[in-house]
Structure 1
Amino acid sequence: MAAAAELEDFPEGGYRYLKGVFQYSGGVTALPGYAIERMVFPEALPLAEGFEAIAAHLAALGRPLAALCACELRSPAPFSEAGFEAFNRHYAGTLERWGLARGERNPVARTNVCPLVRVPAAPAFHAFSYTVETGDAPGQASFVVSGGGEARDGQASYREGMVRLGDTSREGLREKLRYVMGEMERRTTALGFGWADASAVQAYTVHDIGALAFDEIVRRGELGCGLTWQLTRPPIVDMEVEMDLRRVRCERLWSRP
């Protein structure tokens, strides 16, 4: 279980976050008096255009840029570790200009995966989440857990931390899933929630996990919301499995102004 000290309030955005790395936090949850909503782009928007759309949407709601609390990205193909570092610095630059990211700390949650179909030409936005005020009504329990794969923390590189590196056998995938499920549980628990609180759980992999999904994911998490399996690759070369989960007040489909 994560220590309470890992959580930090971000009052200007109306949420608290689980400390992570400079490119994203481990997850976010709304502070009292706020709730999280999610907006999905019907077609992936290039990164710069996506940020412009987010800024316009928040302005129309009368919310500050700091209300952005989670980003869902789609990339053309997995990055090398050096390529991922360069992309993350570019991505985080906008969050720094918006006053969200501060040095090596970044409150915004994130998932970034690589689809097999409708592949974007460059990294693009699939969806984003943000906080809204709930007025006199009490805040609603809502959270977003960042995507995470089978690379153990504390290693010199992603590759060195991979569970069963290069092993996509059934047992290799089983061990990867078990690690990823454990990390999702750690993050969700640290935010003050459990699997039963989730309204959506996603598994991202191009490998056949059909025979493993019930025992390793659905039954382990007692997922009343079910499981969405997306045929995508995680964003790092040699990573095979990623997951995320959320509970938001509502979800909307974006349309051009």
Structure 2
Amino acid sequence: MSALFAGLFDDAAIFPPGNLPMPEAVSAHRARQGSPLVGPFVCSLARFGELAGAAAGGPAVTVSLVLPGPVGELPAAEGLEVVAVEGPGLTAGGTLTTYTEIPCGEVTAARVAALREAGLRLKIRTGGVRADAFPSEAELAGAIWAAVRGGLAFKLTAGLHDPIRHRDPVTGFEHHGFLNVLLATARALQGYEIERALADQDGRRVAAAVAGIDEVLAKAVRHHFISFGTCSVSEPVDGLRRYGLISEATL
């Protein structure tokens, strides 16, 4: 399997629109914990106690904890290993990987430099329950370009369950594709214009371009684009299979 896809999908099953009940979400996550594709279980601070109850007595679960803002002491529970925190206004979290969420349109070279100097990473929201929660190709291109050229690692969240940019037939919302983002990150590393890579809705063309990324560039891409949260891990995995980028057996 290409390094491009290792640990790419953070398991946000309990968040909208998935809204999986906590016990089911924990059980499904544990079943996938050995997968090379799946990252940590994403949980809000408000539901950490519920997660601890659902996870009690079983194998340890790695967690990325979503905070509403800066907090004091982080919670802890047996069987849960918090490996990262993410949220708005966060400052360096000691030994924990810390993602500070910034609106896509506000990601500038100066802010990227400040985050990097502080030892932080960037979180960008790429969707939601309203059309205005989805940044345009130009907005996302600007944010990715600033992060990559500034040497800053980033993660994305929301709206990226499909590999390719598309219009949702039910909501009419324009969704970004995670293969488009991988390709755009590669192009940014090479110094090329990236908005067209984000806008491309030809799945075969985008998938072929991604398949052509060599392992050296793939590792550099993932050094910057760390992961994205998805409320359904199976959907992006099925998308990779559909385009022949992973084997049927991979999960």
* TM-score scaled by length of structure 2: 0.32
* TM-score scaled by length of structure 1: 0.31
Q: Looking at secondary structure, tell me which structure has more strand per residue.
A: 1
Q: Looking at secondary structure, tell me which structure has more helix per residue.
A: 2
